[in-house]
Amino acid sequence: MIRLLASLLALLLPLTAMAQEKVLRAVMHADVRVIDPVWTTQTIANIHGALVYDTLFGNDADQKPQPQMVGKYEISPDRLTYTFTLRDGLKFHDGTPVTTKDVIASLKRWGAKDGVGQRLMGYVTSMEAVDDKTFKMVLREPYGMVLESLGKSGSSIAAIMREKDALTDPQQQVKESVGSGPYIFAKDQWVPGSKAVYLKNKDYQPRSEPPSSFAGGKIPGVDRIELVWISDPQTAMSALINGEIDFYENPTNDFLPLLEKAKGVKLLKTGKIDSTQGMIRLNHLQPPFDNIKARQAMYYLINQEDFLRTIVGDPKYYKVCPGLLTCGGPYENDGGTHWMKEYNPKKAGQLMKEAGYKGEPITVLAATDHATITPATQVLISAMREAGLNVDVQSMDWGSVVSRRAKKDPPAQGGWNIFVTTSGGVGSSNPVLHTWIGAACDKGLFGWPCDPKVEELRNAFGMAATEADRQRIAKELQTEAMDDVVFLPFGQWDTPLAYRADKISGIVPNTGLAVLWGITKK
Amino acid sequence: MTAYIARRLFATLPVMAVVALFVFFLLRLAPGDPAAIIAGDDATSEAIAQIRTRLGLDRPMVEQFGLYLLHLFQGDMGVSIFSNLPVTRLIAQRLEPTLALTLSTLFVAVALAIPAGVLAAWKAHKLVDRLVMGFAVLGFAVPVFVLAYVLIYFFAVQWQMLPVQGYQPIGEGFWPFVESLILPSVALGVTYMALIARITRASMLEVLAQDYIRTANAKGLATDRVLLLHALKNAAVPIVTVIGIGIALLISGVVITETVFNIPGLGRLTVDAVLKRDYPVVQGLILVFAAVKVLVNLIIDISYAFLDPRIRY
């Protein structure tokens, strides 16, 4: 009755013009609070960035780089000079043309901030504009990951900004989000923590190729996208079932059976590598895990099925994956996976003793508010206790885990021994883009594994000239990284996205970053 | 009275200063680092340290507090660490939904609970009284979020009578505005209703036992006149006090209700800011909440003078 009355009243309102507007309402995994995809590695900032900014290249569904803003490019025979020419008609949302000045400034900023960008810039000796549309990038060594780096999705995409924005200190957030991508950010309608609005860029000229992951034509299919932030998963699910939203990026696994049955709703498994990889990180700086034997003992506490059943439940959404590189990805291999063959807490306890462990507390940072990390940590703690280890569980919200894991101090002084985290399957499929596989000591990620051979192999992978070389190096690298225990994998799972199939179509799957271009609404 | 109001308003200044001091230091003593949250999952310790320096979070705490106070005296609550937007703008954006939810809840609760309490007192120890008090106990016992989910399940998902979530500003149409507030107001208002109904009943029972009520009844006055004009007016002071105390209850309830119903109000802003360690936003919000509480107390105290002529300031 109330709906009927509301409908009648709505008819009286002069909203006919607005009624023509196609609005996509999407709930993502987080709210847009940061509008600079380079300043942070947050995925949500990159989802925002992918809508607003364009990139020179985009990696396709097979993780092969394809030109995006670039029209044509040449690589010199010695693989040291790359010449890029921009496509015709590229314009920023303020109407100014995209020039090589903007591109070079943007790449410099990205290269100063992002891990993959820093690695690339380590090989770059110069970037010079030939004219407004062409520029040259000169390398000191034939680094083979130039295009893949420029086309990466996931965290910190190589977004091309206006020169004046790109000159912002990389440690500071840009003040305006004006790109040349398929959608325009409506900053005046932005309510952080509630809603971010994007309007169709009518001047955008998409590529003619069909969309494939982060590559191909980025066709803005609706007039307006509203990224609505619903923090409560139950409410988000109900809103989708009720048709109040069209797209739900990551429904909680518990709700999947309900969503499967809901009328008009479909679940989309987004691709073979667009998954999540579970990782247990040990602190290599502090005892007992400063000893490699103690780290290797931890392998005997990992039964991936235990973790995956607890987190996901339904086997059709998970996969046992004993390696460090994404299973199903181009570089999946069995190097070092013998470590994951046996679950044996008793043996783990014994090996820990042999490594000099005498029952000192092992501090585990246990997030209490994360849909997957919280249960995974509990499974790990249970296995550790079964092995007779003295577990000091430090329960805290994820925000506190994120802060504390950055501390290198001993656990008793605010540091830690173990935390659990996850990584995106697309990024984790490539040894260079997979930052967690690195072992760059102090310069690496939390846990600070230190293995020069791992870093040498990552560099060698980047320099490899042929695919066969890459495959070989990837296996060697995984073997070395698993021997050193850069992290312990506890499986791989998909979080299908849910959407109103009766209202929208054209979702581009398998991107490593949920992209909303291509979606059209009835 | 004017001097009293001026004195009370002046007295809020030290209260606010103490609140500012406590909030500032408690936030910084709590675990968590906004720089680490901003940097994201794939950031190195070095990158986090650089952001911390940029945000000035590595400066001595006293220096940070001094700067905060200086800006506060200039009416500047700072900018959000994350969105770079002024805290005042963020709060202003969220004020309307929270005000609408609070006022509608207050309206629903008072409109239903006072008559229910009066009825229960009038029919004390009879079936109506037991029903009202039974409802009050239930209303008090059921957590807001449980009731909210139950309401959503039946009224939105099953029967599709009302929206699951969201808030429609009044500027976008009166019905959508009302529609978006019905379920949240009921969910939030039930506890409040229970509290007011119980206090109304207790206060009315006390007044109904007075000699002047017996005299009024003996004079042959109509029951409604006795109840509403003679009894309720004299029972009003404790009821108004509870309504005032309940504002604090509402503020805490708003946090949960806004989260479940996805209303972009101050409650949601508070939760998000706390989880993200967005210090300037949390500080600004706590100051606003404290000011509201002080103001409500003042209004309640002033209202006593109107309800009971014996009270003079």
Q: How far is B156 from chain A (nearest CA, A)?
A: 7
Give B176's contacts in chain A (Cβ within 8 Å): 6, 10
- Whether B173 sits inside 8 A of A169 (CB atoms) is no
Helix (H, G, I), strand (E, B) or coil at B204: helix
> For residue range B55-66, what is the model confidence (pLDDT) as tens digits?
888 889 899 999
Q: Are A67 and A162 in contact (CB under 8 A)?
A: no
Q: What is the pLDDT of residue B236?
A: 85
Q: Are B6 and B313 in contact (CB under 8 A)?
A: no
- Whether A195 sits inside 8 A of B264 (CB atoms) is yes
**Rounded percentage of chain A residues whose pLDDT exceeds 70:** 95
Q: What is the pLDDT of residue A153?
A: 85
Q: What is the pLDDT of residue A337?
A: 97
Whether the pLDDT of residue A8 is over 70: the answer is no
CB atoms inside a 10 Å sphere around CB B224: 10
Residue type, B1: M
Q: What is the pLDDT of residue A247?
A: 97
Please work out, in degrees rounded to the nearest 5, the angle formed at the alpha carbon of residue A371 by the alpha carbons of A333 and A388. 70
Whether the pLDDT of residue A293 is over 70: the answer is yes
Give A5's contacts in chain B (Cβ within 8 Å): 175
* Higher local confidence (pLDDT), A44 or B309: A44
Mean pLDDT of A428-434: 89
Give A283's contacts in chain B (Cβ within 8 Å): none
Whether the pLDDT of residue A510 is over 70: the answer is no
Q: Where does the pLDDT of residue A415 fall: very low under 50, low under 70, confident under 90, or very high at 90 and above?
A: very high
> For residue range A123-181, what is the model confidence (pLDDT) as tens digits?
999 999 999 999 999 999 999 999 999 999 877 899 999 999 999 999 889 999 999 99
Angle between helices A373-386 and A345-354 (to 10 degrees): 70
- Whether A35 sits inside 8 A of B54 (CB atoms) is no
> Best of A35, A36, A40, A434 to disrupt the B interface by mutation (most B CBs within 10 Å)?
A40
B274 Cβ contact list (under 8 Å, min separation 6): B282
**Across all residues in chain A, what is the average pLDDT?**
92
Give A155's contacts in chain B (Cβ within 8 Å): 40-42
B175: nearest CB among A9, A171, A190: A9
- Whether B262 sits inside 8 A of A172 (CB atoms) is no
Q: Which residue of B has its CA nearest to A171?
A: B51
Which contiguous run of DSSP H or E holds residue A276?
Answer: strand A276-282
Kindly report which listed range (A227-231, A499-503, B57-61, B241-245) carries the lowest average pLDDT score: B241-245
Q: What is the pLDDT of residue A16?
A: 46
A203 Cβ contact list (under 8 Å, min separation 6): A91, A95
Give B162's contacts in chain A (Cβ within 8 Å): 2-3
- Whether A408 sits inside 8 A of B31 (CB atoms) is no
**Rounded percentage of chain A residues whose pLDDT exceeds 90:** 75
| Alpha-carbon A299 to chain mean position | 26
Q: How far is A410 from chain B (nearest CA, A)?
A: 16
> Best of B153, B155, B165 to disrupt the A interface by mutation (most A CBs within 10 Å)?
B165
**Across all residues in chain B, what is the average pLDDT?**
88
B176: nearest CB among A6, A191, A238: A6
Which residue has 């939390």 as its token pair? A446
A238: nearest CB among B41, B164, B175: B164
B32: nearest CB among A175, A193, A403: A403
How many Å apart are CA A109 and CA B311, to the nearest integer? 68
Q: Which residue of A has its CA nearest to B32?
A: A400
- Bridge partners (DSSP) of residue A199 are A184, A224
Q: What is the pLDDT of residue A371?
A: 87
Torsions phi, psi for A172 (to 5 deg): -120, 150
Mean pLDDT of A92-96: 97
* Token pair in block for residue A178: 């004006």
**Rounded percentage of chain B residues whose pLDDT exceeds 90:** 43
Q: What is the pLDDT of residue A131?
A: 97
Q: What is the pLDDT of residue A51?
A: 96
CB atoms inside a 10 Å sphere around CB B66: 12
How many Å apart are CA A513 and CA B2, to the nearest integer? 61
Q: Which residue of A has its CA nearest to B177?
A: A6
Q: What is the pLDDT of residue B181?
A: 95
Closest CA to A401 of A426, A368, A425: A368
Give A9's contacts in chain B (Cβ within 8 Å): 173-175
Q: Where does the pLDDT of residue A1 fall: very low under 50, low under 70, confident under 90, or very high at 90 and above?
A: very low
CB atoms inside a 10 Å sphere around CB A52: 23
- Whether B54 sits inside 8 A of A194 (CB atoms) is no
How many Å apart are CA B5 and CA B11, to the nearest integer? 10
Q: What is the DSSP code (8-state) at residue A317?
A: G
Whether the pLDDT of residue A82 is over 60: the answer is yes
Give B273's contacts in chain A (Cβ within 8 Å): 193
B41: nearest CB among A173, A238, A421: A421
- Whether B259 sits inside 8 A of A9 (CB atoms) is no
Q: Which residue of B has its CA nearest to A3?
A: B161
> For residue range B104-138, what is the model confidence (pLDDT) as tens digits?
998 989 999 999 999 999 999 999 999 999 999 99
Q: Which residue of B has its CA nearest to A112?
A: B47
How long a stretch of residues is chain A? 522
Q: Are A470 and A145 in contact (CB under 8 A)?
A: no
Mean pLDDT of A360-384: 95
Give this prediction's pTM.
0.83
Give B261's contacts in chain A (Cβ within 8 Å): 235
Q: How far is B305 from chain A (nearest CA, A)?
A: 42
Angle between helices B127-141 and B174-208 (to 10 degrees): 120
- Whether A435 sits inside 8 A of B42 (CB atoms) is yes
Q: What is the pLDDT of residue A99?
A: 98
CB atoms inside a 10 Å sphere around CB B302: 15
- Whether B152 sits inside 8 A of A235 (CB atoms) is yes
Longest dimension (CA), chain A: 80
* Strand A65-67 to A57-59 pairing: antiparallel
Q: How far is B258 from chain A (nearest CA, A)?
A: 10
Task: Please report the number of interchain residue pairs, chain A to chain B, with beta-carbon separation below 8 angstroms.
Answer: 161
> For residue range B173-203, what is the model confidence (pLDDT) as tens digits?
999 999 999 999 999 999 889 999 999 999 9
- Whether A6 sits inside 8 A of B175 (CB atoms) is yes
Longest dimension (CA), chain B: 85
- Whether A3 sits inside 8 A of B33 (CB atoms) is no
- Whether B173 sits inside 8 A of A13 (CB atoms) is yes
How many Å apart are CA A68 and CA A100, to the nearest integer? 15
Whether the pLDDT of residue B228 is over 90: the answer is no
How many Å apart are CA A363 and CA A234, to the nearest integer? 33
Q: What is the pLDDT of residue A13?
A: 46
- Whether B39 sits inside 8 A of A41 (CB atoms) is yes
Residue type, A182: P
- Whether A402 sits inside 8 A of B33 (CB atoms) is yes
> Best of A27, A155, A229, A242 to disrupt the B interface by mutation (most B CBs within 10 Å)?
A242
How many Å apart are CA B157 and CA A242, to the nearest integer? 6
Strands (E), chain B: none
* Token pair in block for residue A3: 């709906």
Whether the pLDDT of residue A339 is over 80: the answer is yes
Whether the pLDDT of residue A3 is over 60: the answer is no
B38: nearest CB among A40, A231, A232: A40
> For residue range A9-26, what is the model confidence (pLDDT) as tens digits?
444 444 444 557 899 999
Q: What is the DSSP code (8-state) at residue A428?
A: G
Whether the pLDDT of residue A77 is over 80: the answer is yes
Residue type, B144: V
Give A443's contacts in chain B (Cβ within 8 Å): 44, 46
